Homo-oligomer: A and B are copies of this chain.
């Protein structure tokens, strides 16, 4: 069930029962499960269907010739990978699982049909795509201009808020099922420095991290210290005016 995707999209706009069942059907077509460190798709492959993460964490990543490796973005449950890559001939990066991952493969055709018939889904997927782009931009700022503690704190804020948006937090806690080396690959830091930075954040009481559970006792404090501004996640319900009526209005199609 793409419950999490639906939940995420409803942060932006309400979906009708029909919209939801269409997403349901699309996500039910084909399902796969892979283990950690396995790839969903590799650099150089021909991009095929769209993948919807149902459970587990995955990431985009790229490796340099000499082995250096950078995680470009995280995919959390409810995230769609690459709604439109099929326009390009080859993947310029890989997508791999960080934990065991269950995902749905949605064919291009199915997605095209769903969006053609459900303008509000189209609009919501646009929002999702644009937010994903905004996250990528924010990572540029994060890697370019924040020192290690801010950078890592910023990432944890982002992850917590994204997970909260799909209902995967409990109180002030959520899972953080990745290794410190993974965090390093994402933040452009060494695993050793990630370790020390986590200790620093723990020491100042900003986070509690034991095993794979992260607790952020005071999210506002962590946000402040990490110079985190949630604007870029665009959680301000642009589509709220659509809530009342089920009929969609003014939904564009095409890239314009």
Bound-state CA distance A232–B72 (Å) is: 13
What are the residues of chain B within 8 A of A130 when measuring CB–CB? 84-85, 87-88
Which B residues are in CB contact (< 8 Å) with A43?
Answer: 231
In whole angstroms, how far apart are the Cα atoms of A139 and B146 in the complex?
15
> Taking the complex as formed, is A68 at the interface, i.e. its CB lies under 8 A from any CB of chain B?
yes
Residue A191 lies at the interface, judged by CB distance under 8 Å to chain B: no
Query: Which of chain B's residues have a CB closer than 8 A to the CB of A73?
Result: 137, 140
A 59-115 contacts with B by CB, 8 A: 60, 62, 64-66, 68-70, 72-73, 83-85, 87-90, 92-93, 108, 111-115
- Copies of this chain present: 2
- The residue that A234 contacts in the complex, of B89, B125, B126, with Cβ under 8 A, is B89
Q: Are A254 and B65 in contact (CB under 8 A)?
A: no
Q: Is A64 within 8 A of B227, CB to CB?
A: yes
Query: With A140-B72, A231-B92 known to touch, is A115 a contact of B256 (CB < 8 Å)?
Result: yes
**Closest beta carbon of chain B to A112's beta carbon, Å:** 4
In the complex, what residue of chain B is closest to A61 when comparing beta carbons? B141
Q: Is the CB of A140 within 8 A of B141?
A: no
In-complex Cβ contact of A72 among B85, B87, B141 (8 A):
B141
Residues of chain A at the chain B interface (Cβ within 8 Å): 43, 50, 60, 62, 64-66, 68-70, 72-73, 83-85, 87-90, 92-93, 108, 111-116, 122-123, 125-127, 129-130, 133-134, 136-141, 143-146, 185-188, 227, 231-232, 234, 236, 238, 252-256
Interchain Cβ contacts under 8 Å between A and B, 12 examples = A68-B146, A73-B137, A88-B134, A89-B236, A90-B231, A90-B236, A108-B252, A114-B256, A116-B254, A126-B255, A136-B137, A144-B188
For residue A253, which residues in chain B have a CB less than 8 angstroms away from its CB? 253-254
State whether A134 touches B254 (Cβ < 8 A): no
CB nearest neighbor in B for A111: B256
